[in-house]
Chain A
Amino acid sequence: GEDVEQSLFLSVREGDSSVINCTYTDSSSTYLYWYKQEPGAGLQLLTYIFSNMDMKQDQRLTVLLNKKDKHLSLRIADTQTGDSAIYFCAESPPYNQGGKLIFGQGTELSVKP
């Protein structure tokens, strides 16, 4: 079945790196995503990776994809207090009609000064 799992909480100190992990079940997923949600707001697309890639870097964000283990991670370098938010991992299985996304439960990142 479809299932995306994330740990619920992560706490880091400002300036450290944060690593948020995600496991997914559908090995045929073509796209995998990271979204950020600040309190009371919608979701902001941070980055996404195609399933034929192993890594994608965009400024402070690095996404690593291990297809064998169905494991996706998001690394935030030099984490700032403004990075405090909930981070959702999502997959897009190809058999879904119209690009339906399957979301994880979200990881609440707390950045302490």
Chain B
Amino acid sequence: GAVVSQHPSWVICKSGTSVKIECRSLDFQATTMFWYRQFPKQSLMLMATSNEGSKATYEQGVEKDKFLINHASLTLSTLTVTSAHPEDSSFYICSGSGVTKNIQYFGAGTRLSVL
């Protein structure tokens, strides 16, 4: 299957700082990338959908100014958590889909801990 690489896998930051998470499709062109948030023992909550070269579409209740998404190329999308607070601590997972839009390939996730 296709490979999506996500970095970092774990990040600890101080409250008020910003954190950038990268998501790369290694062997396919991801025309669409998705960002999810997952709380312990819970399902994935879609935060936003981004198409290459376009502004991201955010799900209801997700603050676009807090979670900045950039999808500047067909192989890279980034999520920046701005002015992070302890309540932003979570597991963030990205995925990408290419030619077959309905098949998403997932990154390994990033565990964010905000102190």
Contact = CB atoms under 8 A, between A and B. Distances in A.
Interface stretch (A11-19, A35-43, A61-69, A70-78): A35-43
B1 to A, nearest CB: 6
B49 A42 contact: no
Contacts of B4: 42
Interface size class of A (residues with CB under 8 A): 20 to 34
Contacts of A43: 44, 93, 95, 106
A105 B42 CA distance: 6
Given A31-B102, A40-B109, A41-B108, A98 B49 contact: yes
B60 interface: no
B104 interface: yes
A36 to B, nearest CB: 10
Contacts of B104: 45, 99, 101
Given A98-B51, A99-B97, A41 B109 contact: yes
Interface residues of B, number: 25
Contacts of A99: 32, 97, 101-104
Contacts of B46: 100-101
Interface in B80-115: 93, 95, 97, 101-109, 111
A88 B1 CA distance: 18
A57 interface: no
B6 interface: yes
Q: Report the 6 A-B pairs with minimum CB-CB distance, sorted nearest first.
A: A99-B101, A42-B106, A43-B106, A42-B108, A42-B109, A99-B102
Interface of B: 1, 4, 6, 32, 34, 42-44, 46, 49, 51, 57, 93, 95, 97, 101-109, 111
11 contacts: A31-B103, A42-B108, A45-B106, A88-B43, A92-B102, A97-B49, A98-B57, A98-B97, A103-B44, A104-B43, A106-B42
